[in-house]
């Protein structure tokens, strides 16, 4: 066991590259997953039955099969239809489509949590449906959706390791290859673990910061808990 070797792995170009790949896969899958989820949630509200059924079918398909299956399927089956994609792109597409199914549910329940009276009030002021969605419903729904989306993000970071099966050079694959080549399992896997924990911490901090940013600004100063007072500097009130 050598801590020095762990450190050398941490700063080695292959591990840094692996960590960047993991981050890239996670963030892109999340962004596309959110877009897919948003689209699905909106289509789900369309009153035309075939559209609604299509979204139900999508959710059934992507929640009813393993992600690993979806990754392998997209990577290996799409080329037979003439669609050639890199392993990275295949991985991101599979993870995004899968994530979309879960995000759709989160977004749908977030939108439904906003009482119809808020929409009516917006409409009564002459706002269009789009304006109401953007300025009345979304800002309120976002606060409700953020914690579950944060969970999904951290889940995605770990799920991203699955794309190692189609040989995307992400963190786990790099660690595993290094370990098999050198038999230094402890050091190689520790280095990967440290990167995973570091990335998770960054995401958690990001979620915390966004939750605070979305919180409406109270006019009265509220009593802050010790922990929150320690974690954040006192804000200046105008």
Q: Residue from 20, 39, 87, 131 that binds another protein (CB under 8 A)?
A: 131
Q: Do 43 and 51 meet the contact criterion of CB atoms below 8 Å apart?
A: yes
Distance CA(55)–CA(52), nearest Å, equals 5
Residue of the chain from 127, 154, 189, 194 that contacts another protein (CB under 8 A):
127
Among 126, 181, 226, 234, indicate the residue that binds another protein (CB under 8 A). Answer: 126
Distance, in Å, from the CA atom of 20 to the CA atom of 10, rounded to the nearest integer, reads 12
Q: Is 47 in the site for another protein (CB under 8 A)?
A: no
Cα separation of 105 and 113, whole Å? 12
Nearest distance in Å: CB 67, another protein: 35
Inter-residue contact 6 to 185 (CB < 8 Å): no
147 touches another protein (CB under 8 A): no
- The rounded distance, in Å, linking the Cα atoms of 56 and 88 is 28
- The H-assigned helical ranges of the chain are 3-11, 13-44, 49-63, 67-77, 87-112, 116-124, 129-132, 138-159, 171-182, 185-214, 226-231
Determine if 223 is a binding residue for another protein (CB under 8 A).
Answer: no
Tell me if 2 contacts another protein by CB under 8 A.
Answer: no
Q: Is there binding between residue 52 and another protein (CB under 8 A)? A: no
Backbone angle region of 82, left / alpha / beta, with phi > 0 → left and psi within -120 to 50 → alpha:
left
**Structure token digits, residue 221:** 């100063």
When the beta carbons of 132 and 161 are compared against another protein, the nearer one is: 132
Site for another protein (CB under 8 A): which residue of 63, 135, 212, 224? 135
210 binds another protein (CB under 8 A): no
Considering only the stretches 88-96, 125-133, 155-163, 164-172, report the one whose residues sit in contact with another protein under the rule CB under 8 A: 125-133
Closest to another protein by CB, 109 vs 177, is: 109
In the Cβ-directed half-sphere of 153, how many Cα atoms lie within 13 Å?
A: 22
Q: Is 133 in the site for another protein (CB under 8 A)?
A: no
Tell me whether residue 111 or residue 192 sits nearer to another protein (CB atom): 111
Cα gap 136→172, rounded to integer Å: 42
Binding of another protein by 122 (CB under 8 A)? yes
Cβ–Cβ < 8 Å for 178, 113: no
Interface with another protein includes 112 (CB under 8 A)?
A: no
**Residues at the site binding another protein, with contacts judged by CB under 8 A:** 117-118, 120-128, 131, 135-136, 139-140, 143, 216-220
């Amino acid at each position: 066991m050598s801590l020095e070797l762990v450190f050398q792995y941490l700063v080695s170009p292959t591990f840094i590259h692996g960590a960047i790949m993991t981050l890239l896969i996670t963030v892109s899958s999340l962004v596309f997953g959110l877009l897919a989820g948003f689209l699905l949630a909106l289509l789900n509200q369309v009153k035309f039955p075939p559209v609604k059924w299509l979204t139900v079918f999508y959710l059934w398909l992507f929640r009813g099969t393993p992600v690993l299956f979806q990754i392998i399927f997209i990577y290996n089956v799409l080329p037979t239809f003439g669609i050639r994609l890199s392993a990275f792109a295949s991985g991101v597409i599979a993870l995004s489509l899968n994530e979309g199914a879960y995000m759709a549910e989160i977004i749908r329940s977030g939108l439904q949590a906003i009482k119809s009276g808020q929409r009516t009030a917006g409409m009564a002021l002459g706002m269009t449906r789009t304006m109401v969605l953007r300025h009345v419903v979304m800002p309120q729904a976002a606060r409700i959706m953020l914690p579950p989306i944060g969970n999904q993000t951290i889940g995605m970071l770990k799920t991203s390791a699955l794309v190692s099966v189609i040989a995307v050079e992400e963190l786990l694959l790099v660690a595993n290859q290094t370990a098999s080549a050198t038999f230094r399992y402890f050091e190689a896997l520790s280095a990967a673990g440290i990167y995973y924990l570091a990335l998770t911490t960054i995401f958690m901090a990001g979620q915390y910061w966004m939750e605070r940013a979305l919180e409406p600004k109270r006019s009265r100063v509220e009593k802050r808990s010790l922990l929150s007072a320690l974690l954040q500097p006192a804000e200046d009130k105008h």
